[in-house]
Amino acid sequence: MVNALLIIGMQLLLVPLTTLRMMFVVKGQSREAAIFAVFEALIYVVSLGIVFSDLENKLNMLAYAIGFSGGIYLGGLVEKRLAIGYRAVNVSLLERNDELVEKLRNDGFGVTVFEGEGMDNEKRYRLDIIAKRSREKELMTLLHGEAPKAFVVVYEPTNFKGGYLVKNMKKRMKEKENTINSESTGKKE
């Protein structure tokens, strides 16, 4: 019974480590992935060693499966909580919405506006927005409130270089935080 509990515990640790390792590999962060891989391999070998040491013990096999399943769930929660990376959001609007664009920019989102034509040669407006994954929900809530009829597509860029994101996003967020802090304390910066 002790071995079964140990196996479950190791799987609850192993699978989230595997999730994180894969996440870092996909995002091109090989050094971080390699660090997770060392711990992942050690836990994997020990837990499987316990299972293979007594193949007649069905409880250990069941514990491995239960721990693996729980680890998958836990890994998903960890990945969602960390929200590492960025989202690219394309918003298609029927009408130009300068107020929305200004609000997005004031809230620290990188926005580029394009004008195009729809199916019947009608003007359409597309916003290309870059946001940290940790702010995706905030962005979607804002878009839903300000442009409820917009067509929105969200994807994860695997690589980008330069632009607003690199130079100004951190600066704007810091300015916004300073403004909020000064308003809450009643001081002007």
- pLDDT of 126 reads 95
φ, ψ dihedrals at 39, nearest 5°: -65, -40
- pLDDT of 145 reads 93
Taking the C-alpha atoms of residue 89 and residue 100, their distance in angstroms, rounded to an integer, is: 14
- pLDDT of 189 reads 47
- pLDDT of 147 reads 93
Residues of the chain with pLDDT under 70: 160, 162-177, 184-189
Q: Is 52 left (phi over 0), alpha (psi -120 to 50) or beta?
A: alpha
Cβ count near 12 (within 10 Å)? 19
- pLDDT of 172 reads 59
Taking the C-alpha atoms of residue 35 and residue 129, their distance in angstroms, rounded to an integer, is: 33
- pLDDT of 121 reads 87
- pLDDT of 110 reads 86
